[in-house]
Amino acid sequence: MSVLSRWIVTEVLRATAVVTAVFIALFLFFDFVDQLDDIGRGAYGLKEAALYVVLRLPSRLYELLPIALLVGTLAALAQLARHSELAVLRASGMSVGGLWRILALAALIQGVIIFAVGEWLVPPAEQTARSFRLQAMGGSDFSTDMRSGLWIREGEDFLNVRRLGSDGRLRELEIYRFGPDRVMTAIDQVKEAEFDPVQGVWRLKEVQRRRLAPERITAESLPELEWSTELTPRVLAVLMVEPYRMSIGALYTFSRHLIRNGQNADRYLQALGRKLVYPLTALVMVTLALPFALGHARGAPIGFKVFLGTLLGVAFHLLNSLAGSLGVLAGWSPWLAAALPAMTFTLLALAMMHWVERR
């Protein structure tokens, strides 16, 4: 990397870091205010609310990093233009494409950070935050958002989980067993299930089984049963959070499980595609910032460009969120819905760059 490239990349990343810090401070405050209604429930006080908000910081950081890069790039380039440094670079023969390649280095660094935060920080932080908040309010288990619990299909059987313990154990679950002809053959009511990492199986404890035959129903009690499945506590735990906050590995595993069992996996495939595409949005952001920075006069206020970048970032974030819902309603391919926001803003950025070059 040349001295010039290192200088521009450093300026962009420095401005991005400042913008990120400002955004994080604002959203920490907003998230803390949002928790005030729950203060007083159990042992959930001001200290616990503050800690919960801090635990969710990686999720906020993950959402804000692309927007911060856009605003930071606009601010850095505007500062260079204000001191005529950008004009000198252009006059010395640097093309828009050459400047973009330098900005792409900053985008590459930011993209790696985005991927690392989303893959290794967000999933465990979300689980820890949820567990901490639940325990502070007097609970010990996760409960699903559905009244009927979490439903999972495993081959011909259906599993209904009412509660998932913070220790990874399943509690209050039922297994509805079906034969090849899709006739229910048995119902297992299980008090608790514990995963055996050595054998890779679930150990079902205190099982009350009712066998359903055409002539009669028989009941029996079993102290323990083994249940083999690819669904580990790690995968089941992240199912209690939004798919977008799951890791790529967990999304892939659960999507494959759903497809193998003939279930609709579009929601998780879309989240998987979004997770894979999201780090690449760093390139989209610097591409979008470049024509705005070059297309204004040297004396254009930096504040105006920062405000413009913020609006564009918010528009991208809204489109990113809206594309998922539109994809489900319109029946789009999950991969198309995941890539649509990045594709749209990339085309917009390329069109604007072409306009700047023609000028």
Is 70 exceeded by the pLDDT of residue 239?
Answer: no
In a domain, 260, yes or no: no
Question: Residues 131, 165: one domain?
Answer: no
Percent of the chain with pLDDT over 70: 92
Question: Residues 193, 304: one domain?
Answer: no
Q: pLDDT confidence of 202, banded at 50, 70, 90?
A: very high
- Residue scoring higher pLDDT (292 or 5): 5
Question: Residues 114, 213: one domain?
Answer: no
Is 90 exceeded by the pLDDT of residue 66?
Answer: yes
Per-residue pLDDT tens digits for 240-273: 778 888 899 889 988 888 888 888 888 889 899 9
Is 60 exceeded by the pLDDT of residue 296?
Answer: no
Reduced to 3 states (helix: H, G, I; strand: E, B; else coil), residue 168 is coil
Q: pLDDT confidence of 298, banded at 50, 70, 90?
A: very low
Q: What average pLDDT does range 286-315 have in this prediction?
A: 74
**Residue 47: predicted pLDDT:** 94
- Non-local (6+) Cβ contacts of 28 within 8 A are 53, 54, 57, 60
In a domain, 246, yes or no: no
Helix (H) or strand (E) holding 229: none
CA 73 – CA 8 distance, rounded (Å): 10
Question: Residues 94, 168: one domain?
Answer: no
Q: What average pLDDT does range 167-192 have in this prediction?
A: 90
What is the 3 state secondary structure string of 152-219? Answer: EEECCEEEEEEEEECCCCEEEEEEEEECCCCCEEEEEEEEEEEEECCCCEEEEEEEEEEEECCCCEEE
Question: Residues 22, 62: one domain?
Answer: yes
Q: Tokens 């401070």 — which residue?
A: 25
Question: Residues 118, 158: one domain?
Answer: no
In a domain, 259, yes or no: no
The domain tally of the chain equals 2
CB-CB contact of 207 with 189 (8 Å): yes
Per-residue pLDDT tens digits for 67-97: 999 999 988 988 888 888 887 888 888 888 8
Is 80 exceeded by the pLDDT of residue 306?
Answer: no
In a domain, 253, yes or no: no
Sequence letter at residue 198: V
In a domain, 188, yes or no: yes
**Residue 321: predicted pLDDT:** 81
Question: Residues 126, 275: one domain?
Answer: yes
Q: What average pLDDT does range 276-282 have in this prediction?
A: 95
Q: pLDDT confidence of 172, banded at 50, 70, 90?
A: confident
> Which structural domain range is residue 323 located in?
3-137+270-358
Residue 19 corresponds to which tokens in the numbers above?
A: 């913008």
Question: Residues 128, 50: one domain?
Answer: yes
**Residue 145: predicted pLDDT:** 47
CB-CB contact of 260 with 270 (8 Å): no
Q: What average pLDDT does range 42-53 have in this prediction?
A: 93
Question: Residues 94, 125: one domain?
Answer: yes
**Residue 297: predicted pLDDT:** 45
Question: Residues 30, 129: one domain?
Answer: yes
The residues pairing with 297 across neighbouring beta strands, listed in sequence order, are none
In a domain, 68, yes or no: yes
In a domain, 351, yes or no: yes
In a domain, 315, yes or no: yes
CA angle, 353 as apex, 357 and 10 as ends, to 5°?
105
Per-residue pLDDT tens digits for 137-165: 875 555 554 456 788 888 888 989 888 77
CA 116 – CA 273 distance, rounded (Å): 16
Mean pLDDT of the chain: 87
CA 293 – CA 297 distance, rounded (Å): 9
Question: Residues 14, 104: one domain?
Answer: yes
Question: Residues 171, 126: one domain?
Answer: no
Q: What average pLDDT does range 307-318 have in this prediction?
A: 83
**Residue 8: predicted pLDDT:** 95
